Amino acid sequence: MNNLNPYEQLGVREDASFEEIQRARKRLQEQYSNNPQVLESIEIAYDAIIMQRLRLRQEGKIKVPDQIRFPEKMQENRNIPPLVEPINVPSFPVFLRELWEPSSGRNLLISGLIFLVLIYSAFSSATGENLPLFLTGGVAACLVFLFLKTRLFWRAFFVTFISFIASVAGGYLLFHLIANTGLQLGISADAFATLFTLVTMWFVGNFLR
């Protein structure tokens, strides 16, 4: 862990928001609550990121959130009762917000090229015998991109596995629903399910965590 830069130690992107950094720090603190050495390295990485961003702020390169610049003022503001009661706006459940995390533009481009090659190869194949091979490549790519974001192998594996099973089943179900309407897709159920699954794997690997 010490061989990684502070962002990699916390498992966040270098353009991550302050809230994302805080969530990553809290998650790692809970995960390694019984390991003082790792907890210390987490705090060092967190402090290094904060100091770096403060320095960049002084150079005018980024805008630092007010909770970093004026923590006392933010605390005072929390203690002041609002003049108007806030309106409750429906939001996604906590577990969905925890799962959502878009990849960086660079990773989106790389993964997009990988999955485009897989999809093109799948439909250029003379027979459907190679479809499982391309599906395996899609699952592996999804697992890698999830792991790069979370740094938690079993979490990435679980999300990838569940998404794969659901997308394969959903692909076949959607194909038969379309076929029952009389619409001719011009491809087999296996090919359609492969396309649906590869697209889903790309989405999961780039927008979930």
Q: Three-state secondary structure along the chain?
A: CCCCCHHHHHCCCCCCCHHHHHHHHHHHHHHCCCCHHHHHHHHHHHHHHHHHHHHHHHCCCCCCCHHHHCHHHHHHHHHCCCCCCCCCCCCCCHHHHHHECCCCHHHHHHHHHHHHHHHHHHHHCCCHHHHHHHHHHHHHHHHHHHHHHHCCHHHHHHHHHHHHHHHHHHHHHHHHHHHHCCCCCCCCHHHHHHHHHHHHHHHHHHHEC
User: Between 126 and 159, where is the model more confident?
Assistant: 159
pLDDT of residue 80: 56
Of the candidate ranges 1-10, 85-94, 99-108, the one whose mean pLDDT is the lowest? 85-94
What pLDDT band is residue 61 in, cutting at 50, 70 and 90?
low
Task: Calculate mean pLDDT across residues 115-126.
Answer: 83
Q: Which pLDDT tens digit goes with each residue over 62-95?
A: 655 555 445 555 555 555 555 445 445 445 565 5
Task: Calculate mean pLDDT across residues 129-139.
Answer: 89
What pLDDT band is residue 175 in, cutting at 50, 70 and 90?
very high
The answer to whether residue 156 scores a pLDDT higher than 60 is: yes
pLDDT of residue 148: 87
The whole-chain average pLDDT of the chain stands at: 80
Q: Which residues contact 119 (CB under 8 A, 6 or more apart)?
A: 134, 195, 198, 199
Task: Calculate mean pLDDT across residues 94-109.
Answer: 75
Model-level pTM? 0.55
User: Between 195 and 107, where is the model more confident?
Assistant: 195
Q: Which pLDDT tens digit goes with each residue over 40-57?
A: 888 888 888 888 888 877
Classify the C-alpha dihedral 41-42-48-52 as positive or negative: positive
